[in-house]
């Protein structure tokens, strides 16, 4: 992708960074990460919560309208409290950041997908269970990653065992440090992912690591190849990566790039392993070999579910 056309939605007030909030620790962690991204871009941060009574569409007539109204009000009150609490923390930690809240009636995934139409980026936490039980953000992350109209970053649960209060105190000083890793296979969505990853690496002043998982063509009959097929496959992978990043290197001499061909038959497992070395892993929503009706490919789905750090799923 040409560096001049890589960013379809430029950062700024017109295209905010949107974070899904549901009251769980995972969603609060996602909101903090979204705040760092918004601060990095100079964008507005919008905290969004979709709420809906668990009885919606399933309530028995004998429950009565008063009971149903009270239940809906309780869910709304909990959602408002979750948004207010998250916004208060982020405003105190980053007073320079423009933080707004949006409460929407509807399921979490539906609301965030709709909000993504005007967003520069959407951030969600993986498996938000653990907050108030009626507003979970679990499978929401996969649904939003698959169907959003903007790129989506899925943050991982904190497994360090750190005290939540310590994490909140340390958050404002955090930097988005470490390499940005992108999976590249030459597909259109991989080119979009490369554009996002290169732009992000430039913003962070971080190394860009380009990964291509490859395997040699099968050989079993005929004369023995003059050159080892594995070496040929690696050379082809390196050439593809070098050609893809060449326009970025020509325009941005300061971009630090590592080309990393990975010899493997299992792209999903390999990309999950590679994600452990990155501060952010970037993939297209669907690469080569996926069938058209599947909006989230096998590699992107595996990373959303099992990646070792934040994962960005880029939509064209």
- Looking at residues 73-98, what average pLDDT do you find? 91
In this prediction, residue 301 carries a pLDDT of: 87
Neighbour count for residue 5 (Cβ, 10 Å): 8
Average pLDDT over residues 208-229: 80
Q: Express each pLDDT in 170-206 by its tens digit.
A: 676 677 889 999 999 999 999 999 999 999 999 999 9
Give the tens place of pLDDT for each residue, 226-264. 778 889 999 999 999 999 999 999 999 999 999 999 999
For residue 153, give every residue at least 6 positions away whose Cβ sits within 8 Å of its Cβ, in sequence order, or none.
33, 34, 37, 121, 122, 123, 124, 280, 310, 311, 312, 313
Q: Nearest 10 degrees: CA dihedral of 133, 134, 135, 140?
A: 90
What is the topology classification, in CATH, of domain 8-173? Rossmann fold (3.40.50)
CA-based radius of gyration for the chain: 21
Does residue 130 have a pLDDT over 60?
Answer: no
CATH number for 180-314 (one of 1.20.1600.10, 3.40.50.300, 1.10.8.60, 3.40.50.12370): it is 3.40.50.12370
What is the model's pLDDT at position 129?
39
**pLDDT greater at residue 163 or residue 254:** 254
> Which ranges of the chain does DSSP label H, i.e. alpha helix?
25-41, 65-93, 108-115, 140-147, 164-170, 188-204, 229-251, 267-275, 298-306
Domains 8-173 and 180-314 share a fold: yes
| pLDDT number for residue 229 | 82
Domain boundary assignment for the chain: 8-173, 180-314
Helices vs strands, H then E, count in the chain: 9, 10
Indicate if the pLDDT at residue 68 is higher than 50.
Answer: yes
Return the pLDDT at 77: 86
How high is the pLDDT of residue 296? Answer: 62
Task: Give the chain's end-to-end CA distance (angstroms, integer).
Answer: 11
Q: Are 30 and 155 in contact (CB under 8 A)?
A: yes
Helices 298-306 & 267-275 angle (0-180, nearest 10)? 40
**HSE-CB of 54 using CA atoms within 13 angstroms:** 6
Q: What's the confidence (pLDDT) of residue 176?
A: 85
pLDDT score at 292: 39
**What pLDDT sits at residue 133?**
39
């Amino acid at each position: 992708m040409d560096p001049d056309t890589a960013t379809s939605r430029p950062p700024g007030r017109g295209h905010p960074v949107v974070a899904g909030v549901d009251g769980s620790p995972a969603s609060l962690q996602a909101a903090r990460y979204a705040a760092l991204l918004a601060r990095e871009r100079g964008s507005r941060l919008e905290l969004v919560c979709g709420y809906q009574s668990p009885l919606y569409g399933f309530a028995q007539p004998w429950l009565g309208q008063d009971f149903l109204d009270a239940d809906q009000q309780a869910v709304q009150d909990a959602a408002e409290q979750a948004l207010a609490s998250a916004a208060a923390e982020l405003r105190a930690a980053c007073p320079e950041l423009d933080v707004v809240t949006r409460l929407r009636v509807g399921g979490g995934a539906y609301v965030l997908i709709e909000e993504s139409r005007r967003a520069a980026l959407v951030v969600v936490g993986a498996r938000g269970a653990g907050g108030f039980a009626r507003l979970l953000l679990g499978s929401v992350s996969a649904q939003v990653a698959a169907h959003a109209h903007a790129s989506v970053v899925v943050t991982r649960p904190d497994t360090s065992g750190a005290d939540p209060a310590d994490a909140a105190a340390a958050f404002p000083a955090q930097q988005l440090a470490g390499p940005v890793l992108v999976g590249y296979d030459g597909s259109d969505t991989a080119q979009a992912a490369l554009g996002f990853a290169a732009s992000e690496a430039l913003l962070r002043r971080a190394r860009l690591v380009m990964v291509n998982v490859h395997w040699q063509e099968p050989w079993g009959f005929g004369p023995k190849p003059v050159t080892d097929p594995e070496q040929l496959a690696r050379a082809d992978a390196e050439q593809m990566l070098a050609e893809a990043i060449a326009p970025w290197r020509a325009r941005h001499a300061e971009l630090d790039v590592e080309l990393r061909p990975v010899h493997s038959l299992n792209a999903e497992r390999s990309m999950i392993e590679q994600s452990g070395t990155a501060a952010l892993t970037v993939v297209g929503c669907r690469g080569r070999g996926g069938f058209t009706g599947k909006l989230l490919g096998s590699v992107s789905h595996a990373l959303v579910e099992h990646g070792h750090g934040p994962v960005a799923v880029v939509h064209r």
